[in-house]
């Protein structure tokens, strides 16, 4: 069975500092990995994905994530945080387009001016 762990419920970072939101996964097979962001009272917006190829993937709004197979991790990063990045972030995994997308419990990011 697939599972995703986001070990931090809350991450606080000062504006302009780098940010990292952690994600580890467990899956039998090659994972498709995703990050989504949710702003208050909104649906989930796709940020970036890893399917295959280069372990460092770049996505929307300056975010990037690094796939690490040996550590089964897919941490979300941004070099310089903005107050507008404050939101709820979800990591998710699936094995293919035919299988369910399994989410972590989410990490609330707060960027302080």
Partner 1 sequence: NAGVTQTPKFQVLKTGQSMTLQCAQDMNHEYMSWYRQDPGMGLRLIHYSVGAGITDQGEVPNGYNVSRSTTEDFPLRLLSAAPSQTSVYFCASSQTGYETNTEAFFGQGTRLTVV
Contact 92, 103 (CB under 8 A): yes
Q: Is residue 101 involved in binding partner 1 (CB under 8 A)?
A: yes
Site for partner 1 in 32-61 (CB under 8 A): 32, 34, 36, 42-46, 49, 51
The yes or no reply on residue 97 touching partner 1 (CB under 8 A) is yes
Ranges of beta strands (E only) in the chain are: 3-5, 10-14, 19-21, 24-26, 32-38, 44-50, 56-58, 64-68, 73-78, 87-94, 102-103, 107-112
Q: Which residues contact 97 (CB under 8 A, 6 or more apart)?
A: none
Q: Check residue 102 for interaction with partner 1 (CB under 8 A).
A: yes
**Which residue, 29 or 113, is less far from partner 1 as judged by CB?**
29
- Taking the complex as a whole, the smallest distance from the CB of residue 50 to partner 1 amounts, in Å, to 11
Tokens standing for residue 41: 């009272």
Within positions 6 to 25, which residues make up the interface with partner 1, using CB under 8 A? Answer: 9
Shortest Cβ 45–partner 1 spacing (Å):
8
For the record, the structure tokens of 55 come out as 């372990």
Footprint on this chain of partner 1 (rule: CB under 8 A): 9, 32, 34, 36, 42-46, 49, 51, 90, 92, 94, 96-98, 100-106
């Amino acid at each position: 069975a697939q599972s995703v762990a986001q070990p931090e419920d809350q991450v606080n970072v000062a504006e302009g500092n780098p940010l990292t939101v952690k994600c580890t996964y467990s899956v039998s097979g090659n994972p498709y990995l995703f990050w989504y962001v949710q702003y208050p009272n909104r649906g989930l917006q796709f940020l970036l994905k890893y399917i295959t190829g280069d372990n460092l993937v770049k996505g929307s709004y300056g975010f990037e994530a690094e796939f690490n197979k040996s550590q089964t991790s897919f941490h979300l990063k941004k070099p310089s945080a903005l107050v507008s990045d404050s939101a709820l972030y979800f990591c998710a995994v699936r094995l293919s387009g035919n299988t369910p997308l399994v989410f972590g419990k989410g990490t609330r990011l707060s960027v302080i001016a």
